[in-house]
Structure 1
Amino acid sequence: MSWAGKILRVDLTAGTVKSEPLNMEWARAYIGSRGLGTKYLCEEVDATVDPLSAANKIIWATGPLTGTMASTGGRYTVITKSPLTGAIACSNSGGYWGAEFKMAGWDMVIFEGASPKPVYLYVNDDVAELRDAAHLWGKSVWETETTLKKSLQDPLTRVSSIGKAGENGVLFAAVVNDMHRAAGRSGVGTVMGSKNLKAIAVRGTKGVGNIKNPKAFMQAVKDKKKILAENGVTGQGLPIYGTQVLMNVINEVGALPTRNHRDSQFEGAKDISAEAMATPRATDGKKHLVTNQACFGCTIACGRISKMDQSHFTVSTKPQYWGANGGLEYEAAWALGAANGVKDLEALQYANLICNEEGIDPISFGATIGAVMELYEMGVLTKEQLGIDAKFGSAEALAFLVDETVNGRGFGKEIGQGSKRLTAKYGHPDLSMSSKGQEFPAYDGRAIQGIGLAYATSNRGGCHLRGYTIASEVLGIPVKTDPLEHEGKPELVKAFQDATAAFDSSGLCIFTTFAWGLADLAPQLQGAIGDEFTTEELAHIGERIWNMEREFNNRAGFTAKDDSLPKRLLTEAVNSGPAKGKVNMLAEMMPKYYAARGWDSEGRPTADTRARLGL
């Protein structure tokens, strides 16, 4: 039936590790990964808990298709209460860790309490034990993973860990696996650090052998891989250019947030684009991009491997960064680049490597730097405070401040609190480009109306991956809608949000949805699990998951007023490009969104909605 049927429960306070059966009733109702992990968190954690207290829990969860032959079946999710937002935190990662954990015979691991000293969890099939991590504390993600593989004498061990940022309390610290893949957003790594949990090292040799109907499953997988291969995005665009293919596209439609959303087009976009990564450098004649890379079982291979210019000021005296490393993805390139007006591709790669090495979310970091640079140009922050001249466009400031932030030094301590707290402290809260305290990614919510609504209503704060309406509004998938039009967007956003929740819960990558719909997911789940999953039922389950997350946030103290956007997006019109003159029409869209969701005017699911969804 594709679920392993077992979970690990780790009491960090007591130092105990126990196995228990998976709640199969919940598994059927919430599928796995995001949905099932969130169900466990909602049942076991008081929504008003202090995120960094021992009473909060943190969960690593796989889906029923994780570790199988389904394309992109390497995903896992980390679920907790976010220290950045105070809302539900649910962050997804690829690579190989999720599949390895599933092949060790586990669906999920729940950590509760807090260890009095640094520890890591070691899992080798049925063996699971807490081990001392004093020798790992203070090490980067890269050092931690290398050290564990060497000490365990198994290079196939997969490691999910935090760097110094998670230890130092950076509120947007990430959990990183396989050196460069991350559960990046909402501060899941910060919670891990607060519990003195450094890493989870996993070796799984059992495989996923309990596919219910192997013949039907393999046929479905084969058919769906063919669709991915023949699709223009998943078969050509992403393999060739990676997510960075979007840089010039989004800039041309006038929706690339620039200099902390003051502008929506960046004159340096071409210099930090996928095309620039694939063009030989003037300095040494070599390409920034080396090759692409795939996560476990992935037929898309959108990952990038890059090599820096060794003479660049950021690394000329740091040969440890001269080799081939994880390359820039679109969101990181935007956040470290256009958001700050920086067009130095090598500086962006350096900052991205530091984010990976020490485990921080480049989106929240880069967007917070955008606010810092605006405050600096306004004269609110000074060179003496920051330790450097930090005008928009300064690659030197970007490189300096990323080091300060991950190490918790100087003004880096304040950057590590995120833009909402930083801008409020210095008297300009409207300069935080965030919702519910989480910074926006690489799309302007004025130029693309639906994504603005998605930001405002996202259960984990500003986010594109919870309802990627860019697919429809820009790329025309599955149907083309006008990005400047707000009519019809509430229903579009809801449909994307519900479908995404189902895909996230399956254990597959959201990028498959450029080519697949729920009708493509259903037969793969049916073959693996054996139960009948219709397209309508998957949409229903996705809606159930969305409303469960919403209710957690409501219990945590969030209200309708938190479904908001910064004043800049609501009152300052776009100043150039196709969207010139536009603001986000949130006030017109929100009542229709609530109605489509079956919520009252305060954003609470009605009794009828709760009954219909079985909540």
Structure 2
Amino acid sequence: MTKTTDVEPIYRRYVGGRGVATRLAHERIPFDADPFGPENRLFFTTGPMQFSNMSFTGRMNCTGVSPLTDGLLSSNAGGFMSRNFVDAGYGAVEFVGASDELVVVHVRDDGVTFEPVPELKGATVPETTEYLESEHEITVDQTAVIGPAGENRVRFASIMTSEERAFGRGGLGAVLGSKNIKGITFGGDSRPEVEVPSTQMEIHREAATDDHIMKRQGTVSVMDLANEMDGLPSYYFSERQFDGADGINGAAVEEKKYKKGSCSACAFACKLPTRDEETGLETEGPEFEVAMAFGSNSGIDDIVDVMKSNELCDRYGLDAISAGNTIAAYLAAEDEFGNEELIHDLVEKIAHREGVGDDLAEGIDRVHDDLGVDNWSVKGMDFAAHEGRILHGQGLSYAVANRGADHMYATFYSVEYPLVPEEDALEPTGTLGKAERLVRRENLMALNDSGIVCKFSRDYMNPERYEILFGESFDKLLAVGDRTVTLERHFNNQRGFDRTDDDLPYNLPDFDQALDEYYDSRGWKDGVVPDNMLPKIDETIIV
């Protein structure tokens, strides 16, 4: 059954993307919803910039209650699906309930159809997209599908689009699997007319002509810097430098890159199509987080081995960061660091929940006691590569982020390496005095996720350009991000989250005082949103 409702008033207050989805989720998902229960909902949303031809705008948002963190979580994927999504004529697509049989949902401007696909049970991501291509002439860029990991409710299963781009962190692929949805396709000819200022083309030209290292090496370009700073997680977070970094760093990836890769309409082209000529292995990446998780954190110093792990995760529909870190925990328990054959075997076992893979599919937070290793996670989500024990503001960000130890929630690492101009940089050591900057960055990232604008646009976007593109003052736009973060936190508070969940498995200087500074800046009490904040949440209107 399908129905269509008007959500324009919510778009006027939350811009689009993550903001709109968070507002809808807060209203429509019961606070006590089981992540795998029919009452949980998934929202796919896009934003006004997906009606432009500007670089950094080929992205989509997906929101629901995470089976990994047990809180409200949004995940963001690049690729080419966003333009097909807006062609279908919808601002948001919501899934609730569960199908009695395995289905693919076709969302078109002339209606929605549910196609039973029992023959796709257990199919990999490429097998599913090949079926859609051969049976319906639907391209991979119109699809969002799950692999065996999603069907088997692996708590860090991804939703894959364009085969190699992922709504990765937090396990929303398992939520789609719990609803018995193998895939979703989008298309049509009903894209609304939206006027976007000419500033979009200035940004597009700059992205096209800039000689940026990420165009050659992607995010893994930062690995050497992290390693030099004693900030590269290695051997399941027990060390912070890796002697084999030269084998998995940006130069190693660049050597395997065989063509340019981009998202829709993006001239920055920072993606990494890689190929190993000797084995014929092809994948996209790895990016820095995956090179850490399946590389240094697992004791692997050969980029081809990391590429293979990355390819397997894409094939089976797994978040490669959580898969790699969870496998690293197992390697630590078994003293098997560097065993690439075991690693690749474990990826398959996790995806199919076979043998020990059934336990590892639960994630580090739920399995660390059984393995006898430390719990390297926050709110159930394992750590990204940017080392909070060295970048203390990033460590604070991991602790307070509503979705756990995720680097993209505030991208605070960028001001502490730093990857920003000197006048915007902060010393990496120390937590005090960073809370207001952290709040502002969280709000800005939430705005980007609502726009939707890629977070790697940081060198090309500024307050003036935000104001021109979105037609509103920068402070009001940041208020959209503030409301989004606050609604996420309030939802999670109703599920039992409070100050005790804003914690780390290591000590930082003045951490408790820094937490107080953060809460004061947000107007929260011990990590909890006061009830009197909610009536004000929709006051500001963004036209």
Task: Check whether TM > 0.5.
Answer: yes
In the alignment, structure 1 residue 510 sits paired with structure 2 residue 455: yes
Q: Distance in 2 between matches of 1:359 and 1:406?
A: 8
Q: What residue number does 1:262 align with? A: 238
Q: What residue number does 2:267 align with? A: 299
How many pairs are equivalent?
A: 537
Q: Distance in 2 between matches of 1:260 and 1:515?
A: 36
Q: What residue number does 1:461 align with? A: 404
Q: Name which of 589, 593, 598 aligns with 2:523.
A: 598
Q: Distance in 1 between matches of 2:509 and 2:104?
A: 46
In the alignment, structure 1 residue 483 sits paired with structure 2 residue 428: yes
Q: What residue number does 2:204 align with? A: 225
In the alignment, structure 1 residue 417 sits paired with structure 2 residue 400: no
Q: Name which of 223, 234, 239 aligns with 2:215.
A: 239
Per the TM alignment, residue 514 of structure 1 is displaced from its structure 2 partner at its CA by: 3.7
Aligned-residue RMSD, C-alpha: 1.8
Q: What residue number does 1:388 align with? A: none
Per the TM alignment, residue 543 of structure 1 is displaced from its structure 2 partner at its CA by: 0.6
On the 8 A contact 1:105/1:126 being kept in 2, the answer is no
Q: Which runs of 4+ in 1 moved over 3 A?
A: 154-157, 226-231, 425-428, 606-615
On the 8 A contact 1:518/1:539 being kept in 2, the answer is no
Q: What residue number does 2:393 align with? A: 450
On the 8 A contact 1:471/1:514 being kept in 2, the answer is no
Q: Name which of 14, 18, 21 aligns with 2:3.
A: 18
| Correspondence list, 1:171-250, <5 A | 171-206=155-190, 208-211=191-194, 214=195, 217-229=196-208, 235-250=211-226
**1:498-520 deviations in Å (ceiling 9; x for gaps):** 10000100122111124323432
SS in 2 for 1:599: coil
What TM-score do you get using the length of structure 1 for normalisation?
0.84
Q: What residue number does 1:586 align with? A: 511
SS in 2 for 1:131: strand
**1:294-333 deviations in Å (ceiling 9; x for gaps):** 110112111111112544xxxxxxxxxx364322111111
Q: What residue number does 1:501 align with? A: 446
Q: Which moved more, 1:88-97 or 1:323-332?
A: 323-332
Per the TM alignment, residue 607 of structure 1 is displaced from its structure 2 partner at its CA by: 5.3
Q: Which moved more, 1:24-33 or 1:182-191?
A: 24-33
**1:207-265 deviations in Å (ceiling 9; x for gaps):** x4421xx4xx341212233454566xxx5121122111111121112211111211111
Q: Which runs of 5+ in 1 are unaligned?
A: 1-15, 280-287, 312-321, 378-390, 527-532, 571-582
Q: Distance in 2 between matches of 1:336 and 1:309?
A: 21
Per the TM alignment, residue 278 of structure 1 is displaced from its structure 2 partner at its CA by: 2.8
CA 1:154–1:539: 2 relative to 1, 3 Å: closer
SS in 2 for 1:79: strand
CA 1:155–1:190: 2 relative to 1, 3 Å: closer
Q: Which runs of 5+ in 2 are unaligned?
A: none
**1:552-583 deviations in Å (ceiling 9; x for gaps):** 000111111000111xx22xxxxxxxxxxxx4
What TM-score do you get using the length of structure 2 for normalisation?
0.95
Q: Name which of 146, 150, 153 aligns with 2:130.
A: 146
On the 8 A contact 1:67/1:98 being kept in 2, the answer is no
Q: Which moved more, 1:324-333 or 1:107-116?
A: 324-333
| Correspondence list, 1:60-459, <5 A | 60-155=44-139, 158-206=142-190, 208-211=191-194, 214=195, 217-229=196-208, 235-279=211-255, 288-311=256-279, 322=280, 324-377=282-335, 391-428=336-373, 431-459=374-402
SS in 2 for 1:246: helix
SS in 2 for 1:135: helix
On the 8 A contact 1:449/1:484 being kept in 2, the answer is yes
On the 8 A contact 2:418/2:426 being kept in 1, the answer is no
Q: Distance in 2 between matches of 1:250 and 1:78?
A: 30
Per the TM alignment, residue 146 of structure 1 is displaced from its structure 2 partner at its CA by: 1.2
On the 8 A contact 2:333/2:372 being kept in 1, the answer is no
CA 1:614–1:293: 2 relative to 1, 3 Å: same
Task: Work out the percentage of aligned pairs sharing the same amino acid.
Answer: 30
CA 1:334–1:427: 2 relative to 1, 3 Å: closer
Per the TM alignment, residue 105 of structure 1 is displaced from its structure 2 partner at its CA by: 0.9
Per the TM alignment, residue 125 of structure 1 is displaced from its structure 2 partner at its CA by: 2.7
Q: Name which of 495, 500, 506 aligns with 1:556.
A: 495
Per the TM alignment, residue 395 of structure 1 is displaced from its structure 2 partner at its CA by: 1.8
Per the TM alignment, residue 203 of structure 1 is displaced from its structure 2 partner at its CA by: 2.2
SS in 2 for 1:293: coil
Q: What residue number does 1:537 align with? A: 476
CA 1:550–1:155: 2 relative to 1, 3 Å: closer
CA 1:451–1:156: 2 relative to 1, 3 Å: closer
2:396 is matched by which residue type in structure 1?
L
Q: Distance in 1 between matches of 2:277 and 2:326?
A: 27
Per the TM alignment, residue 611 of structure 1 is displaced from its structure 2 partner at its CA by: 5.3
CA 1:150–1:559: 2 relative to 1, 3 Å: same
On the 8 A contact 2:140/2:162 being kept in 1, the answer is no
On the 8 A contact 1:449/1:483 being kept in 2, the answer is yes
SS in 2 for 1:291: coil
